[in-house]
């Protein structure tokens, strides 16, 4: 734990705000790392010369912002949280590449790899008849050894697909082995609550909020190559989408430009 600061009195900046800034600066400067535990409330409040209520106000704000994680119990306390990873949905970039851009090592734990009959929803997405064989792959994705997402994907029954290495980028596998690189996708985002099984795989408590992304990905010729429902931990992943304004269409009968 870094040395505690001397809080300034009479400056108009509340003590809890000064504590928040101090902790943020310590984390940004590398003086505190993810997983580091803060001293107990009584000890830390005494060092800072503030009431425990003031300290709790600062800690609650940092917990709400995802900077700290507070764990109840005798072995708990306030810990520096793992930084959230930006996941940009603007381009169709797989998880492995997203983690590479964030300078994190992506890992995959394969839970399911099997050929199954397509359900009505999967068949409609992949433009198959209900009951046709499809490959089902379920994986826990981790960044920096911490689970961040649970992927549940279905693919056309491509020969040899399940015999390949399923621990890396499945999009790279589609592109390299089958010339079916995903180029476009339709994605739907919904907030959901983690069930017991999902919570266990992601290392969270049942009932924890998650972000669900339902996706159908297409090759360049419009062939659907994946239907998926991914569950992301919002405390570890921040979803972003870039947008812009297209030029308005010219009025009827008028040419666009000289």
7 falls within a domain = no
Its pTM stands at 0.69
Is 171 among the domain residues?
yes
pLDDT at 104: 61
Q: What is the pLDDT of residue 82?
A: 75
**How many Cα atoms within 13 Å fall on the side-chain side of residue 185?**
22
Amino acid 257: pLDDT: 47
Residue 120 falls inside a structural domain: yes
Give the list of residues 6+ apart from residue 11 with CB closer than 8 angstroms, or none: none
Q: Do 24 and 122 have their domain in common?
A: no
Are residues 118 and 213 both part of a single domain? yes
Domain stop point among 80, 101, 117: 80
One digit per residue, pLDDT tens: the chain, 258 residues? 567 788 888 788 999 999 999 998 888 888 888 888 999 899 999 999 999 999 999 999 998 877 888 777 777 788 887 777 777 776 666 666 666 665 566 788 999 999 999 999 999 999 999 999 999 999 999 876 678 899 999 999 999 999 999 998 899 999 999 999 999 999 999 999 999 999 999 988 899 899 999 999 999 999 999 999 999 998 888 887 777 776 565 665 554 444
| Total domains, the chain | 2
The tokens for 119 are 């359900």
- Closest C-alpha to 115, from 168, 166, 173, 156: 156
Structural domain range at position 95: 85-240
Alpha helices in the chain (DSSP H): 15-28, 41-48, 52-64, 95-101, 120-126, 170-178, 196-202
Among 96, 102, 131, residue whose Cα is nearest residue 116: 131
Whether residue 31 sits in one domain with residue 147 = no
The pLDDT, as a whole number, for residue 147 is 87
Sequential DSSP letters for 143-155: ETTEEEEEEEEEE
Give the CATH number of the domain where residue 232 resides: 3.40.1410.10
């Amino acid at each position: 734990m870094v040395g505690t600061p001397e809080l300034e009195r009479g400056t108009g900046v509340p003590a809890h705000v000064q504590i928040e800034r101090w902790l943020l600066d310590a984390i940004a400067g590398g003086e505190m790392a993810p997983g580091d535990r803060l001293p107990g409330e009584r000890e830390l409040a005494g060092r800072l010369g503030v009431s425990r209520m003031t300290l709790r106000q600062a800690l609650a704000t940092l917990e709400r912002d995802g900077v700290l994680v507070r764990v109840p119990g005798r072995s708990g306390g306030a810990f520096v949280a793992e930084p959230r990873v930006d996941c940009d949905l603007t381009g169709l970039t797989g998880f492995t590449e997203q983690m590479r851009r964030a300078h994190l090592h992506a890992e995959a734990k394969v839970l399911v790899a099997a050929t199954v009959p397509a359900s009505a929803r999967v068949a409609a997405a992949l433009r198959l008849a209900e009951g046709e064989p499809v490959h089902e792959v379920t994986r826990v994705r981790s960044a920096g050894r911490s689970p961040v997402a649970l992927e549940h994907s279905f693919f056309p029954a491509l020969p040899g697909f399940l015999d390949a290495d399923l621990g890396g980028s499945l999009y790279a596998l589609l592109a390299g082995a089958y010339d079916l690189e995903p180029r476009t996708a339709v994605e739907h985002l919904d907030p959901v609550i983690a069930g017991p099984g999902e919570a266990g795989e992601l290392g969270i408590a049942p009932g924890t909020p998650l972000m669900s992304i339902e996706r159908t990905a297409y090759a360049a010729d419009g062939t659907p190559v994946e239907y998926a429902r991914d569950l992301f931990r919002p405390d570890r992943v921040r979803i972003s989408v870039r947008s812009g304004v297209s030029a308005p269409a010219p009025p009827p009968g008028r040419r666009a430009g000289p």
